[in-house]
Amino acid sequence: MINKGDKIPEVNLVKATENGPEQVSSSDYFAGKKVALFSVPGAYTPTCSAKHLPGYVEKADALKAKGVDEIACTAVNDAFVLGAWNKDAGSEDVTMLADGNGDFAKAIGLEMDGSGFGLGTRGQRFSMIVNDGVVEELNVEAPGDFKVSAADYMLDQL
C-alpha cells in the first residue's frame, strides 16, 4: 500500500470534462500542484452521494484557502458516470478522475473486493493530500466507516 512520502505511481486516468473524457497520466495530473484527492467506492452510492462528495463541495473554498490547488475525486467508474454524478451532486470545484479499470486503485494498493454487493473490484474509501506527485497525508477508512476521508478531517490536516 502507498504511504506518506511515496510518489504517486504512473497510471492513466480519465478526466471527466464538459467536452467528454480526457485521458491524463497521473504524473502529469499531480505535477506542480497540491491536490486534495478523495476516493469513493462508487458514484451514486449512498454514503458517497449523501456525505463524501457534498462535504468536499461544501468545503472547497476552505480547502483552497489552506493551499489546495485542486480537489479531485476518483472511483472505479467510467468518466461518463463520474461526469454525470458531478453534474448532479458536485461542482466545478471538484475534478472527477475515472479509474474505470481499477488500475490506479491497484497501483496504490487500495483496491477492495465489493463483489458481495455486486460491485466487483473497487477502490477503497480514502483521502490523501498529494503535493507535486508526493503523498503528504493518507487517510484510509476502515471497511464501512466514513471519518478520516471526510473534507473536515482533511481541513484539520492542512
d(CA 136, CA 28): 18
Catalytic residue list contains 48: yes
Annotated catalytic residue within 48, 75, 96, 97? 48
Residue 127 CB burial class (10 angstroms; 0-12, 13-18, ≥19)? buried
C-alpha angle 71-79-118 in degrees, rounded to nearest 5: 105
CB 119 within 8 A of CB 84: no
Q: DSSP states of 49-93 as a string?
A: IIIIHHHHHHTHHHHHHTT--EEEEEESS-HHHHHHHHHHH--TT
- The set of catalytic residues is 48
